[in-house]
Amino acid sequence: MHKLALNMGDVDARMRLLSDAYARRTPTVSVVSFNVPFETHSYRDRFNDLDLMLEHSVRYAQALADSDNDMPPFIDTFCTVVMVAEAFGCPIRMQEADVPWAFPAVESVGGVWNTVPCKVKGASHIRRMFEWVDYAQSRLGTDLPFWSLDIQSPFSVAAQIVDPTDLLAACLDNPKAVHHLCRMVTDFTIEMMHDHLAQMDHPGFPGRNFPSISENIGICIADDTPAIMLGPRLYEEFALPYNSEIGKQFGGVHIHSCGNYAHNLSGMLQITNIRSIQFHAGPGEFDLPASIEEQHPVNMARERVTLYIDTNEVSRGDDYADRPREFYAEYLIPRLHRNDGLSLILDGCPHPDGADAGIRWTRQALEATGGHSV
């Protein structure tokens, strides 16, 4: 059996910290980073060889454990993006050594009436995920949580099965077909996730895209397509009811989306059992309010859910794209601290000396401005 040199007391302390942040119990900012340095293999090689996936997962978990991180270590799992789409007949292609991509299964939305998903383990990528979890649990044990899958929201999967342009047009001229497809995807997704969680002795929640803990706080949903591409009325009709059903089934949902989905944030907050949202903050993507008094979707959200905030070159905008520390000091942290008294989860600032230096710099910047850090 592979061994990890873990301080379980430290792991448990990180778990408690993040649990408090998700539950909004303490006014702290948890500073996390997924980008710890470690040797790995390409996604394609890991997918094809479970021993390479084992090496990758052990190295990643150890690197997380050794980092100055508020995020607990976990056992990695495979990318979820194409899994449900493949079950509905989408061709899957591995782009060089990168993660797989799904391509439409039907030529037009009318074809969904003749579309039936295969059994859960009939899809090769889902089956491989189950094989990996069994293998990893037998080799590594279950001291650490396994990163549970982040599912694509039902409408996002529908936009893989049908060409997105055709699907968006069908929301207006063939809504029954869109609802039929979203209904099938929702049912399949719920079955898959129940099987996935039942297979793991120690699942981590909410799962991929989010810092995760052992406590069952619900699962995560990647809601990019409807959050970005639908207007509020269509989001309420074609995304909200299916996301809410998942929230009911699993006792909580945590929403990820790239881009600026401020126009749908009000509808998103109506999802049953919504617990947190993730967005890429900054003037280039999802702008933050300048004050707590501003009429802004983020000020509305902060009263309801935990915010998990990360950034990238796009979100920082042209002025700050290559100046992450200035962005944190001049833009991000001052706006966050207008939100005093509530917990946040914040990605550490990118730093030329690596993830640990970025985490420490972020904590110091938070303290220097009178904010809460751990």
> What is the reported pLDDT for 343?
81
> What is the reported pLDDT for 183?
98
Per residue in 284-324, pLDDT (tens digit) is: 999 999 887 888 999 889 889 999 999 999 999 999 999 99
Model confidence band, residue 146 (pLDDT cutoffs 50, 70, 90):
very high
Per residue in 201-255, pLDDT (tens digit) is: 999 999 999 999 999 999 999 999 999 999 999 999 999 999 999 999 999 999 9
Chain-centroid distance, C-alpha 175: 28
Per residue in 317-344, pLDDT (tens digit) is: 999 999 999 999 999 998 886 555 678 9
> Scanning the structure block, which residue is given the tokens 């890991």?
46
> What is the reported pLDDT for 261?
96
> What is the reported pLDDT for 293?
80
Going 62 to 25 to 332 to 310, the CA torsion angle's sign is positive
Per residue in 167-195, pLDDT (tens digit) is: 999 999 999 999 999 999 999 999 999 99
Model confidence band, residue 367 (pLDDT cutoffs 50, 70, 90):
confident
> What is the reported pLDDT for 373?
46
Residue range 136-149: mean pLDDT, rounded = 96
Per residue in 122-134, pLDDT (tens digit) is: 999 999 999 999 9
- Write down the mean pLDDT value for the chain: 93
* pLDDT reading at 5 higher than 90: no
User: Where do runs of H (alpha helix) occur along 24-123?
Assistant: 43-48, 50-66, 83-87
> What is the reported pLDDT for 153?
98
CA angle 86, 234, 117 (to 5 degrees): 20
* pLDDT reading at 374 higher than 60: no
> What is the reported pLDDT for 278?
96
For the chain, how are helix, strand and coil distributed in percent, rounded to 5? 50, 15, 35
What share of the chain has pLDDT > 70, as a percent?
A: 97
> What is the reported pLDDT for 341?
60
User: Where do runs of H (alpha helix) occur along the chain?
Assistant: 8-23, 43-48, 50-66, 83-87, 124-140, 154-161, 164-173, 175-199, 224-229, 232-238, 240-250, 265-268, 297-302, 313-320, 324-327, 333-336, 355-368
Compute the radius of gyration of the chain from its Cα atoms.
Answer: 20
